[in-house]
Copies of this chain bind each other. A is one copy, B any other.
Amino acid sequence: MDKIKIGIIGAGGYGGCGAIELLYAHPHAEIAVLLDKQDIGRSISDLYPHLKGFCDLPLMDPDDPAVPDDLDAVFFATPDGVGQQEAGGWLEKGVKVVDYSGDFRFNDAHSYEAYAARIGRQQAHAAPELLPLSVYGLAELHRNEIQNTSLVGNPGCFAVSCILGLAPAAKEKLIEITSIVCDAKTGVSGAGKKPAPGFHYPARYDNMNAYKISGHQHVFEVERELSLLAGEDVIMTFTPHVVPVCRGILTTIYAQLNPGISLPKIVDAYRSFYGDDVFVRVFGPDVPQGTANVRGSNFCNLSVNMDDRTGKLVVVSHIDNLVKGQAGSAVQNMNIMFHFEESAGLMKPGLFP
């Protein structure tokens, strides 16, 4: 079978690089074109020298007439606002779209608004007509819909971490749904490749901080997904932190358990929920975990615990923000959209140490 042809838009960022790392050796897909607004004409392996010999395509301007249009899918590895303006054109040509940003994570303009306000976007969504067609790209929850769509809104990295850590509890009504607190710690790569004072090595190396306290935009997609699972409206507290790690999100999730819920029952519920999901692994309190265990891989490791004294569920969720939190989920979604094996190109353990 011929490989499908993929275009990556915004290929010069970490999200584009992550997609290339997964696609250069994908059994059913090949990278056909790399698009970006910067560094036009430079080889991607000039920007990311580790890719030399694996992918040496040049970055092309999206408006360059030489951009091929016989693609099967494009990844928008772009910031908010790009996909909503350009996805329609690709979809019209029959090209499937996976967008990394928040542009297609919501199904109507109204629910998009709260999200958009949090990131300071005042404009209305540029393509509200596409929103009903889009599917939220968390494969473990929406596999069937992803199979049947051409437009996927890839989930936010924090959202992947929180939703996978809470979905079974919400679905099986293990917890008081109003009591959720998610305390997330992210590696610095989540902020992308653009230098900034807070990510400057001397300012960052022995430092940790909370930011957007009670105000991060990813909370809305988490709440929406948990509401769908629980069958009732969920409002939760979410606090992101940055720590001097490159790759990794560790989210510690707290929620009040409903009466009579025991730890074995919780672990069973989680294992049952993720029965066939190869990329989610459920552990009880006896197995030590750390984000290094998932560094470079598409896995989400969940450590499920109970605080007997306070009756709280404590789930610790571990992902690599650049893989399961971004490019890995995008490839997983692509695999589903094209009816490939869901794990094609993704079964890698990462590196340790």
The interface of chain A, by Cβ under 8 A from chain B, is: 14, 17, 21, 24, 48-54, 178, 181, 183, 185, 187-189, 193-197, 199-211, 213-214, 235-237, 239, 241, 243-248, 250, 252, 254, 281, 285, 287-297, 301, 303, 305-310, 312, 314, 316, 347, 349-353
Contact = CB atoms under 8 A, between A and B. Distances in A.
Nearest to A320: B351
A291 B178 CA distance: 31
Contacts of A14: 202, 353
Contacts of A295: 50, 206-207
A283 to B, nearest CB: 9
Given A214-B309, A303-B210, A241 B250 contact: yes
Nearest to A46: B287
Interface-centre pick from A24, A199, A236, A308 (highest chain B CB count, 10 A): A199
Contacts of A294: 50
Contact of A183 (B183, B214, B246): B183
A243 B314 CA distance: 18
Contact of A187 (B204, B206, B210, B308): B206
A201 B242 CA distance: 12
Q: How many copies does the complex hold?
A: 4
A48 B352 contact: yes
A206 B53 CA distance: 22
B183 A202 contact: no
A337 B148 CA distance: 49
16 contacts: A17-B352, A24-B349, A185-B241, A187-B206, A193-B353, A199-B201, A202-B246, A205-B244, A206-B291, A214-B307, A214-B308, A236-B310, A239-B252, A246-B353, A247-B351, A296-B351
A206 B50 contact: no
A254 B207 contact: no
Given A209-B290, A235-B310, A237-B254, A353 B214 contact: no
A214 to B, nearest CB: 4
A163 B209 CA distance: 19
A343 to B, nearest CB: 10
Interface-centre pick from A48, A49, A288 (highest chain B CB count, 10 A): A49
A210 B244 contact: no
A265 to B, nearest CB: 17
A106 to B, nearest CB: 17
B351 A351 contact: yes
Contacts of A306: 214
A187 B245 CA distance: 12
B49 A289 contact: yes
